[in-house]
Structure 1
């Protein structure tokens, strides 16, 4: 097994510190002089719910959700009103909504409109709810956007559907590559004209899966098909003068970027697309971003996978080309293991701690430059949302969640352009990461233990502001206060804590 240099050594063990009284102070040393990757953003997507929520629901409730996700304001007591996301993902739909029941996708939420019809006519009034929410994000300071496609428009697909027939081939007519590329480039150019530019277009999503059921829009893609599509899309973007870059491959799992034991014709995508010796090399195309995007699904359990998979990915990237960035571009609690189960809505602290631990390992071991959640707003009985709403397309209730606020311990304070810095230290059930920029040092500490813990923070000085996410309504990224750095600070039991040091 390849081993990366450790930024942080953490012991995970069942000791008295996890379940009993603890009086020990665990020491961590922050080393601002040792910098690692730049952090570009934290984000989420508008998939599925926003098309109705952003169009039909009362404005007050839409704005409440937008505040939760994007606001950087605080209340009179200094508590954040939102988590300050800095990137938003816009789903370019495939036209299954227009097909209605003929789409064969039974769940209304999971169908999506398309800007183009079968005659090649564009209707920019489509996806109105998503356009409203994108504008709401911009009004709250978000300036990074990714447009992603799960399927080509249905009239370009082999079966006329938004999901595939069995097999590993793309659900795209052989003569429609140029049409699909032109469509994506036209969408980018249109949003440019509105002053709402997409930084990136992601033309394929989780190409490892066959997407041959009718649960949602989706298409498989072989590596050679991605290569062909990206070349067509690059030509279309060059032709229309857009500044939008192409993001690939949105791999289903991080291991699909490097593992030789992956899914045939859809494996080792880091090397297939960015090794100059590869027949599918696209790293020299003008509009291809020098990064690989992948999802964190199915790499978080058993616990040792959190380190081993991410260590390996980091080393493979550095060996091929250390200038290639890694973006973790989608995750929710999809797992069904001994630690967490995806089914069942849970607004509490337990899934939030699991989420925070995944963020920590993606940033520390894989050294991701971006971290993006799946559904910004969810109507489902599943651990896939940050904000939750009633399962109704016109009105209902809006709920925040501890997963929202736990992500906020990172996204609200680790701002674009900051760098991760080295941390030394270890403690059972405690995970620390640190970042610097804008004259600040940000330390995020996760305490899985069922009792309060004490930690010492060495290597830093100055005033400290403390924000805590823990069980109870009063601990939703709560501002605890400001104090001068001391020999030890307390971590609330079962919590995520952010220290802002100036």
Structure 2
């Protein structure tokens, strides 16, 4: 009897849930071709720390597949993408902590990095073999933008001879008399790679200057150095002069702020960085330097604790960027803070993490008007199914890190919904979501962004953040293009559904978005 009662209620609950999943109206995604926003420059990721072990030691088949997952633009015979076709790759220029071994003070040997600069001042271009493997693969696959960045000056030039700070003073670890030396080092590295066929479009000399990066000896997590605005100005000017002397075409991008609000606000000596570096009356104005990109770079960490913070931070940033007539790059993000938990105390599934990631990307692009978006980190050790907050590909390495296994996460495919299809040169178009219901004008769980290229190819990314399926129809406004072919790429919580392609009717363009899913819809 008890069993019958339980089964009865299970059936009732299943029936109710099934009804709850049905959309109660059609949401119209109105894409306006006349309302053009920013032009996208790139969407990419970084290969920091773990590239060295993988690229140098792991079996060829494994590291080649990892590269394919990140960079490939090809599909299999069924149209299934083989990779996410990143259009930017960030290459870490090491500070030399790997050579120091345990004396480096960095506890995890995998996060120590080589330096091309020898102790006698000569260069060894065979260093960073693993990093160079992935740089080569990025070039081979046609990644459009290569970026070199540095977390710390070479240990030869730091005040304490280490790749991190041991004192909490928020001053750069670079010796006062080594600005030209550090600038010349970055220039020599950039010039060398130019000469061997790898052009770095951008070079970033500082990283997250707001953090003190101070640790006790043998407790450091990684290479790093703080910088004041004054110090950033000095190294940027020195690097600009060295680039000019060497006749390089690379651009300098700064300041890789640790939080977006430091770009327009904050206190301390590394704040209000848009105003400080691009205000023409500022003593630190760099907008007139030939090799400086008219772009401000910042990281989306710690500014997504709730939706209000997510939106207000990026709106304020966009307003300030517009005022100073520059561009904004979101140049580093993973779910470092706990915002991704969204108030939950339990573990988050891979799809929960991926959807939160998609919301941050969406907001950075549509509210912050970012012209580039880059993830940190492409691969790290961890689970592929739960709390996948830090990486696109989960590594299961051997203890010596000379072999191991790997698993693509939902984060990889979610980023691919943007990187695979929203390509450099595309223009974001304004979208508005409306329903045919009189009781609501839009559904807050539906996040949409649209992009168009010069030939009129339309790419719409639609995120259904809610637990109810949504029926949507794309309405194209103010365009003369007659779309005949359409494809939808879908990712859901199902382990097998990742950028899954299906042909759609471009004339009707009505689709069902499953609950907790993301779709990229392409009209040719």
State the SS of the aligned residue for 2:341. coil
- Alignment RMSD: 2.0
Is 1:296 the equivalent of 2:300?
yes
Is 1:455 the equivalent of 2:472?
yes
> Unaligned regions of 5+ residues in structure 2, if any?
1-16, 434-441, 478-482
Q: Structure 1 residues 486-495 or 239-248, which shifts more?
A: 486-495
Partner of 1:224: 230
Partner of 1:374: 376
- Aligned residues, how many? 483
Partner of 2:516: 494
Is 1:386 the equivalent of 2:392?
yes
Q: Answer yes or no: is the 8 Å Cα contact 1:336–1:342 preserved in 2.
A: no
Alpha-carbon distance in 1 for matches of 2:334, 2:187: 29
Aligned mate of 1:330, from 323, 326, 332 = 332
**Aligned-pair CA distance for 1:21:** 4.0
Partner of 1:439: 456
Matches within 5 A, 1:58-457: 58-164=59-165, 165-213=167-215, 214-259=220-265, 262-321=266-325, 324-337=326-339, 339=341, 348-380=350-382, 383-392=389-398, 393-425=401-433, 426-437=442-453, 438-457=455-474
Is 1:477 the equivalent of 2:499?
yes
State the SS of the aligned residue for 1:363. helix
Alpha-carbon distance in 2 for matches of 1:439, 1:279: 44
Larger Rg: 2
> Unaligned regions of 5+ residues in structure 1, if any?
1-15
State the SS of the aligned residue for 1:455. strand
State the SS of the aligned residue for 1:167. coil
Q: Answer yes or no: is the 8 Å Cα contact 2:252–2:292 preserved in 1.
A: yes
C-alpha change, 1:361 and 1:175, in structure 2 (3 Å) is same
State the SS of the aligned residue for 1:248. strand
Matches within 5 A, 1:35-74: 35-74=36-75
Partner of 2:14: none
**Aligned-pair CA distance for 1:43:** 0.5
Alpha-carbon distance in 2 for matches of 1:198, 1:347: 37
TM-score, normalization by structure 1: 0.93
Alpha-carbon distance in 2 for matches of 1:379, 1:167: 32
C-alpha change, 1:124 and 1:18, in structure 2 (3 Å) is farther
State the SS of the aligned residue for 1:109. helix
C-alpha change, 1:117 and 1:347, in structure 2 (3 Å) is farther
Alpha-carbon distance in 2 for matches of 1:215, 1:90: 19
State the SS of the aligned residue for 1:375. coil
**Aligned-pair CA distance for 1:383:** 1.8
Deviations 1:437-479 (A, max 9, x none): 0431000000012232111211264332100011112211111
Alpha-carbon distance in 2 for matches of 1:446, 1:29: 15
Q: Answer yes or no: is the 8 Å Cα contact 1:210–1:219 preserved in 2.
A: yes
State the SS of the aligned residue for 1:112. coil
Q: Answer yes or no: is the 8 Å Cα contact 1:347–1:403 preserved in 2.
A: no
Bigger relative CO (Cα 8 Å, ≥ 6 apart): 1
Deviations 1:112-171 (A, max 9, x none): 110002221100000011111111111111131110000000111001111012111000
Deviations 1:296-354 (A, max 9, x none): 01111121111111111111111122xx1111100001121473599999772110100
**Aligned-pair CA distance for 1:412:** 0.5
Q: Answer yes or no: is the 8 Å Cα contact 1:52–1:394 preserved in 2.
A: yes
Alpha-carbon distance in 1 for matches of 2:177, 2:345: 40
